[in-house]
């Protein structure tokens, strides 16, 4: 087994090194770099482009190059397969390697469309299959008592940041948005009489979230504390307790806030996505049907929501207990 793994590693390295030696310094033209064209084609949030840039950088580093000078238009099927094998050897998850492959295919498509790569060469890359995933969602669902403890911790923290973070947590758990969505909320998109908030979701599409009463109270408290009347709802707060004038929090900022507050409150590790998972689990555990939960979460397919059905395991076990023979 070990010998086979070493042989695969050697083969992947040889393939990549051979390709680098062949293409040499054949960098794409700056005005038609397929990587830049791919970034420009992304219609989602800035977070999507940030992720793509990071992936491009890592792929280029595997070949000792930079993303700007990497000869994307010279990629071929054998080299892409070798890169995928190299990523596997580095311990990247199946999900992450699928992301890398998707971005490579996207860049190759731009190279083909701009006549920098032949149709045949692109077709061979396009036919590389993604890894089939059948794993349960990773993470945990927080109990409502943990959510309450987390929010109370923030409200007892002196300064504007504590009130802001309580409102942020209130929306993440009470409405279930993705962290890339929650940072798009503008104050004029909040309708208290209708108990709704509009966010920009995947595919740059606007969708509406329903606010529970506790979330409404927390958001109103934040607006009163900050004095904000327009612009981004969630903004950075500096060490002098000053709220940024017209600068919104980033998705990374949301992640840092949640993980820091969770640690301060003495809870087990949890991320913003775990709050979204908690939102879905709470809905399903309280009898909401799968279609409603999927719609509230902004899932295009209920199959995606089904991955969060942790409570189904308990139901299955209870059903099994009733089988007597």
How far from the centroid of its chain's Cα atoms is residue 145's Cα?
26
pLDDT tens profile 49-62: 888 999 999 999 98
By C-alpha distance, which of 43, 48, 71, 41 is closest to 59? 71
Report d(CA 190, CA 186) in Å as an integer.
7
pLDDT at 313: 60
Q: Cβ–Cβ contacts within 10 Å for residue 322, how many?
A: 6
pLDDT tens profile 238-262: 989 999 988 999 999 999 999 999 9
Domains in the chain: boundaries: 2-126, 144-319
How far from the centroid of its chain's Cα atoms is residue 278's Cα?
16
Write out the catalytic residue numbers. Answer: 178, 202, 273, 276, 299, 308
Give CA separation, 310 vs 229, 250, 282, 317, in Å. 40, 30, 10, 12
pLDDT at 205: 85
pLDDT of 310 strictly over 80: no
User: CB within 8 A of 70, min separation 6: which ones?
Assistant: 27, 35, 56, 59, 60, 63
Report d(CA 310, CA 131) in Å as an integer.
24
pLDDT at 128: 93
Q: Structure pTM?
A: 0.64
pLDDT of 172 strictly over 80: yes
Report d(CA 170, CA 193) in Å as an integer.
18
pLDDT of 150 strictly over 90: yes
Task: Look up the CATH superfamily of 144-319.
Answer: Intergrase catalytic core (1.10.443.10)
Strands (E) located in the chain: 190-191, 196-200, 206-210
Residue bearing the bigger pLDDT, 317 or 180: 180
Contact 167, 221 (CB under 8 A): yes
- Kindly state the average pLDDT of the residues 160-172: 96
Contact 230, 208 (CB under 8 A): no
pLDDT tens profile 272-302: 999 999 998 888 888 887 788 888 888 877 7
User: CB within 8 A of 154, min separation 6: which ones?
Assistant: 162, 163, 165, 166, 169, 261
């Amino acid at each position: 087994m070990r010998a086979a793994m070493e042989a695969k590693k050697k083969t992947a390295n040889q393939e990549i090194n051979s390709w680098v030696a062949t293409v040499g310094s054949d960098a794409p033209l700056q005005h038609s770099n397929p990587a830049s064209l791919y970034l420009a084609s992304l219609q989602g949030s800035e977070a999507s482009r940030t992720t793509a840039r990071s992936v491009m950088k890592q792929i280029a580093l595997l070949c000792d190059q930079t993303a700007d000078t990497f000869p994307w238009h010279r990629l071929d099927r054998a080299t892409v397969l070798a890169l995928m094998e190299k990523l596997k050897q580095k311990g990247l998850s199946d999900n992450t390697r699928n992301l890398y492959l998707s971005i490579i295919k996207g860049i190759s498509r731009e190279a083909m469309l701009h006549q920098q790569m032949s149709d045949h060469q692109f077709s061979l890359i396009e036919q590389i299959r993604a890894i089939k995933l059948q794993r349960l969602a990773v993470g945990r669902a927080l109990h409502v008592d943990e959510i309450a403890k987390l929010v109370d911790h923030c409200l007892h923290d002196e300064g504007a940041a504590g009130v802001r973070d309580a409102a942020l947590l209130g929306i993440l758990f009470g409405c279930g948005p993705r962290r890339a969505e929650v940072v798009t909320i503008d104050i004029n998109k909040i309708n208290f009489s209708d108990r709704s908030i509009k966010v920009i979701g995947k595919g740059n599409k606007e969708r509406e979230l329903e606010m529970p009463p506790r979330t409404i109270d927390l958001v109103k408290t934040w607006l009163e504390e900050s004095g904000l009347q327009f612009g981004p709802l969630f903004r950075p707060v500096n060490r002098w307790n000053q709220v940024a004038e017209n600068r919104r929090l980033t998705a990374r900022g949301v992640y840092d806030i949640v993980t820091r507050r969770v640690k301060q409150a003495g809870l087990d590790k949890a991320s913003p996505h775990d709050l979204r998972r908690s939102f879905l689990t709470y809905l399903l555990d309280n009898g909401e049907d799968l279609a409603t939960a999927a719609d509230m979460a902004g899932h295009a397919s209920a199959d995606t929501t089904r991955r969060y059905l942790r409570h189904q395991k308990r139901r299955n076990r209870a059903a099994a207990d009733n089988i007597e023979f």
